[in-house]
Amino acid sequence: MTRLAVRGYRRDVADVHPPLLWPDYRSTGRRAPSRPLVLLPHSLTELTGPLLGADRVGALDHDLTRQHAGEPLGERIIVHGRVLDGDGRPVPQTLIEVWQANAAGRYAHGGDQHPAPLDPNFTGVGRCLTGADGSYRFVTVKPGAYPWRNHDNAWRPAHIHFSLFGRAFVQRLVTQMYFPGDPLFGQDPIFNSVPERARQRMVAGFDLSQTEPEWALAYRFDLVLRGRDATPMDDR
């Protein structure tokens, strides 16, 4: 029998993540599992995870405005922040992937049928690794809102998709970043599927201090992944 002392990760507290079944978001109806989730004890498979490195990130992947011959249309913005764990410690050298609609609210994706213009200078895909202090920074354009067919006159608030790995399988997170004061929050079932006390954590803050004068506005968005147990799991 092998026993390994590895520090575990605390499980998420209630009232953070959305429930899998959320009838206002219609697509959950036939996709959400119907049986309760089974608690999986954390073994090394869950306490480790892929540490994907710089070979996954191209030189201009962090700047979504410089990936084509010309500049994309739209309001140029800087999105920056830090990736932390639940104890406030930085998560360094972790891959962040982002994707978003263009300034007109259209994705460079064949399945997006919204009759808004595509921008030949915008793919809307970015990647970076966090620094030693967990920091990251993207340059992009502010995405537009777009309609979808969930309910009558349904529109998604402007958002940027984020995918993070952290250091362990249990830290994997896919989320969306929203912009402050969006008038569409009230009617968006995806935003509102998150318990009320945690919703504002998905909303970036306008950050004048990181704005570049004569060039771009800035938003700050910190992401918080799970924190670790105080003691190795073997000691509990």
Q: Which residues are catalytic?
A: 107, 146, 156, 159, 161
**What is the smallest separation between the CB atom of 105 and other proteins, expressed in angstroms?**
11
Q: Is 31 exposed, middle or buried (0-12, 13-18, 19+ CB in 10 A)?
A: exposed
- 204 contacts 220 by C-beta, under 8 angstroms: yes
Task: At 180, list the tokens.
Answer: 């402050």
Q: Which is nearer to other proteins, 66 or 220 (CB)?
A: 220
Cα–Cα distances in angstroms (integers) from residue 212 to residues 135, 159, 216, in the given order:
18, 21, 5
Closest CA to 221 of 65, 82, 94, 62: 82
State in angstroms the smallest separation of the CB of 152 from other proteins.
Answer: 19
The smaller minimum CB distance to other proteins, of residues 75 and 87, is found at 87
164 within 8 A of 128, measured Cβ to Cβ: no
Going by C-alpha positions, the residue among 202, 200, 198, 194 that lies closest to residue 177 is 202
> For other proteins, which is the closer residue by CB, 2 or 153?
2
Structure tokens at 207: 């950050």
User: Residue 163 Cβ, how far from other proteins at the closest point, in Å?
Assistant: 7
State the residue for tokens 């994997």.
Answer: 172
- 79: its two tokens: 């999105």
Q: Residue 77: enclosing H or E segment and its boundaries?
A: strand 76-85
In DSSP terms, 148 is beta-bridged to 154
**Cβ 214 to other proteins, closest distance in Å?**
21
Instruction: Output 88 or 120, the one with its CB closest to other proteins.
Output: 88
Minimum CB distance to other proteins, residue 77 (Å): 14
